[in-house]
Chains A and B, each alone.
Chain A
Amino acid sequence: MNNFFVHYRPLPPGLKRFLLLVLTVLVTLIVVLGFWEPSLQNQYGPGRRQPVKELSGWLLDGPGGAQLLVPQPGQTTQGQTFNRVLLAGPGKTIPPPAVMDHVGDWVKVRGSLFSRGPLDVMNTRKATPMRPPLGTPEANVVGHSEGEFTLRGEIVDSKCFSGVMKPGSGKAHMGCAIRCISGGVPAVFHVRREDGSALDFVLIDDQNQTVNERVLPLVAQPLELKGEVIRFDNLLAIRANPESYQPLKP
């Protein structure tokens, strides 16, 4: 009787200790969960969003989508002449005409650069054509075949995977990846090797064309691909028809 509670009447003294105990339990629970839960979440990734940069190079449309070929000074580990930066537009789109109208030109572009391992992607709205510096090598548009391989991995969009989003892959990222790839962002096949390292391959068909619209139903799920791996400077591509992609059991 003494502890009967009605909220518009004075609090019975016997209940104060109980409420303090409840509050202590709740604060402890909230603090424990608040500090513990982030470590359980898959919200970290090696991708990096770099400050806005200005880059100059050859602007090409392919393989797999628009890219900028930035000359590599000095000796490089792979002996490559260029570093290839994939290009995307604002949001989940292909670069706008103000960029794509200058395919084949030496251009200057400005934008946010996202990097994950050897994969670089730039978000840009405009390309300014320039005269190429003296002695600039020509772009290798054919690439170098590394042979036929069977790869297991998942299709991701190169842009968010490279730094906009964490983890940028897996089922939770399916919606975003499909929107990006549907919007023209280069589709990449992400392969995780047994030693924990990863390789990323730009997807092209046997005509060296982009496959974006054709792979949408297969994005962010385990797949097996058989095809020819081709190296374009630092960029790896796998040439295979999307009809031959084999879904694996998740």
Chain B
Amino acid sequence: MSHQYVAVQWTRRKFIYDAILIGLMALYLLAFMQTSHWIADLRGIELETDGVAIRAYGSAAYILLHLTLAIGPLSRLHPWFHTLLFNRRHMGVMVFLLGAIHVSGWTLPSQPWIWFGMRTPKLPWAFYGSVAWYNNFGDLKPLVSLFTVNRHFGSLALFPFELLGVIGLIVLFVMAAISHDFWLANLTAPVWKAIHMSVYVGYAALVGHVLLGALQTNRNPWLAVLVLSGALALLTLHLLSGWREWRPDRADLAQPGQSWVDVGALQDIADGAAKVVMLSGERVAVFRRGGSVFALSNVCQHQNGPLGEGRIVNNCAVCPWHGYEYELDTGASPPPFHESVPTFPVQLREGRILISPVPMAAVQR
């Protein structure tokens, strides 16, 4: 948790997560590029390796973006997917890196040598990215060319789909640049999350980028079918998880002016777990520990995760997203951490749980 800033708070599981992630992407890139060579050999025609690498990295970023965006709704639909959610930010950063390589190639590592007038080391995997490959070596700077070369904005068949990719990459860059908890703490979770919601603007732009590219360039309709299937699958997952959230949110238990609200029986809550209820427009996590109940705000202070989907560990409510802990009776994180969530007054009467919808002030340490 955030009592100090370090680059990344590594755990063994994060190393494993990242190793699998990098391994999967390397496997995809290798399969894509090698298969491209096999197809060219079979057809007896020549391949242009820079173009292959541009397509490989671009499609890798696009596929990984789908996996990244699917984890959120999946983890709302089943808690086992929290095992994929906890390190999802590294996925997002990797999506940006793959997209940046798609655009700039592996030419960036050579820049420091060029600045000092030295001979650039030749990397075996080096290639020009899409901006340089299609817009450099001519009579205009590559970026000037990128933004001015195609002005057919009124035609769907000729629309500069590259510019949609620029929008997508900018959004991915912002996500990656502020992904660290330093920004989360300083921007505050609601602002940070609101900014991160723009990933859907970026995703829409990238769907347009890839779909238009496929329709304008490729004769094979399967590529467009794949792109649309991915978008449809993501939309379905989000609607399903949204429906699941929306239903209980409608059932606000508190009546205006009511001081104590009956939220159910003690025995309805599994020992060590919680149920989430809606009180005066706020989600409240009602935890049970043996014969005792505790009511805390359902919103984790870290990333606004669903605290009520967590469990009690060592007398603390633990958020299922990143393991942030809050003491059950005070809502404060154990020292040296300083996050805290509001708590709610609770009474137990004849096995029924009564909660006051007016929260107590969060304890500050």
Residues of A within 8 A of B (CB): 1, 3-9, 11, 15, 18-19, 22-23, 26-27, 30-31, 33-35, 37-49, 90-93, 163-167, 170-176, 178-180, 182-183, 217, 221, 250
Chain B residue contacts of A179, Cβ below 8 A: 134-135, 137-140, 145, 149
For A33, the closest partner residue in chain B by CB is B63
If the complex has contacts A34-B32, A39-B35, A175-B149, are A23 and B138 also in contact, measured as CB distance less than 8 A? Answer: no
Give 12 A-B pairs besides A174-B150, A182-B140 with Cβ atoms closer than 8 angstroms.
A4-B320, A11-B83, A18-B80, A23-B20, A30-B24, A34-B30, A38-B39, A41-B55, A91-B136, A171-B157, A175-B146, A176-B135
- B 199-219 to A, binary, CB cutoff 8 A, 1 in contact else 0: 000000000000001001111
Cross-chain contact of A38 among B36, B216, B323 (Cβ < 8 A): B36
Distance between Cα atoms of A15 and B78 in the complex (Å): 12
Q: Is the CB of A45 within 8 A of B139?
A: no
Q: Is the CB of B32 within 8 A of A15?
A: no
If the complex has contacts A39-B35, A44-B40, are A7 and B46 also in contact, measured as CB distance less than 8 A? Answer: no
Chain A residue contacts of B311, Cβ below 8 A: 1, 4
- B222 interfacial contact with A, CB 8 Å: yes
- B 33-71 to A, binary, CB cutoff 8 A, 1 in contact else 0: 001100110010111100110010001000100010000
Chain A residue contacts of B51, Cβ below 8 A: 43, 165-166
- B272 interfacial contact with A, CB 8 Å: yes
Distance between Cα atoms of A11 and B11 in the complex (Å): 12
Distance between Cα atoms of A165 and B35 in the complex (Å): 18
| 27 A-B contacts (beta carbon < 8 Å) | A3-B80, A4-B313, A5-B82, A7-B86, A8-B11, A18-B83, A30-B27, A30-B31, A37-B226, A40-B222, A41-B36, A44-B47, A45-B46, A47-B46, A48-B46, A91-B137, A171-B158, A171-B216, A172-B216, A172-B217, A173-B134, A178-B149, A179-B137, A179-B138, A179-B145, A179-B149, A182-B138
Residues of B within 8 A of A (CB): 11, 13-14, 20, 24, 27-32, 35-36, 39-40, 43, 45-48, 51-52, 55, 59, 63, 67, 79-80, 82-84, 86-87, 133-140, 145-146, 149-152, 155, 157-158, 162, 213, 216-220, 222-223, 226, 270-273, 310-311, 313, 318, 320, 322-323
For A116, the closest partner residue in chain B by CB is B46
List the 8 closest pairs (A to B, CB-CB), nearest first: A34-B31, A91-B137, A250-B157, A179-B138, A92-B138, A6-B323, A171-B216, A172-B217
Q: How far is the CB of B233 from chain A (nearest CB, A)?
A: 12
Distance between Cα atoms of A22 and B13 in the complex (Å): 16
Chain B residue contacts of A5, Cβ below 8 A: 79-80, 82-83, 86, 320
Chain A residue contacts of B138, Cβ below 8 A: 91-93, 179-180, 182-183
Q: Is the CB of B133 within 8 A of A41?
A: no
